[in-house]
Amino acid sequence: MKVIAVNGSPRKKWNTATLLERALDGAASKGAETELVHLYNLDFKGCVSCFACKTIDGPSYGRCVVKDDLTPLLKAVLDVQALILGSPIYYGTVTGEMRSFMERLFFPFSPYTDPPGSLFPRKISTGFIYTLGATEKMAKERGFDHHISWNEMILARIFGASESLCSYDTYQFEDYSKVFAPRFDPEKKAQRRREVFPLDCAKAFEMGAHFTR
């Protein structure tokens, strides 16, 4: 069994990546083979609207025809037991790289049927881990939860099941004194990093563990 985590953050050793690593640790604790993919290491674009994946009797029906650095990952997803995505929230949504990946991942498996269906060959577990500099209260006031629930709905429809984990009010900088960010209280941020982020890591571990049961 294999579990793949996809990091949509440009930072490979910070909040999002750490939570994804903990999720993979959880999967590995149950015997899964794991892999962490950093999207910012890959050269790719979003959907190019060629509709090859929708062409009746076409050789690429239900599959993305574009060949680039994303191609091996899209192929690998066909064989996983679970898929875990991770991204910081930038201006109310995931990063551009994660959004482009999601277009390429979702669209080929989404036939134009009513009601919407799925061309993915089986059911797997999926999860989405989000990191936010905003507090939970701020995120809800700004409607971020609608974006998160929408992604969860699409993942569940295509792959069969999905759940989300949000890590709020994250510690964003190694040294707040070097960054102009008067909105934040560095001491409160550091305290939350010490007291709350480990709990989020534990939740991520449990997500990976129960995906492989």
pLDDT at 121 over 80: yes
| CB-based contact 201:19 (threshold 8 Å) | yes
Read off the pTM: 0.93
Give the mean model confidence (pLDDT) for residues 100-115.
94
**164 contact partners, CB below 8 Å, separation of at least 6:** 127, 128, 129, 130, 148, 149, 151, 152
Helix (H, G, I), strand (E, B) or coil at 190: helix
Tell the burial category of 130 from Cβ atoms under 10 Å away from its Cβ (0-12, 13-18, 19+): buried
* Gyration radius of the chain over CA positions: 18
Read off the pLDDT of residues 140-189 as tens digits, 9 standing for 90 and up.
888 898 999 999 999 999 999 899 999 999 988 888 888 888 888 888 88
Residue type for position 136:
E
For each of the domains in the chain, give its residue range(s) and CATH number, in order of start.
2-211 (3.40.50.360)
How far is 211 from 192, CA to CA, in rounded Å? 28
Alpha helices in the chain (DSSP H): 15-29, 71-77, 96-106, 136-141, 144-159, 186-195, 197-211
How far is 29 from 152, CA to CA, in rounded Å? 25
- State residue 39's pLDDT score: 97
Burial 185-211, CB ≥16 within 10 A → b, else e? eeeebeebeeeebeebbebbbebbbeb
Helix (H, G, I), strand (E, B) or coil at 174: coil
Read off the pLDDT of residues 37-87 as tens digits, 9 standing for 90 and up.
999 999 999 999 999 999 998 888 999 999 999 999 999 999 999 999 999
Give the mean pLDDT of the chain.
Answer: 93
Between 2 and 186, the more confident residue is 2
pLDDT at 201 over 90: yes
pLDDT at 213 over 80: no
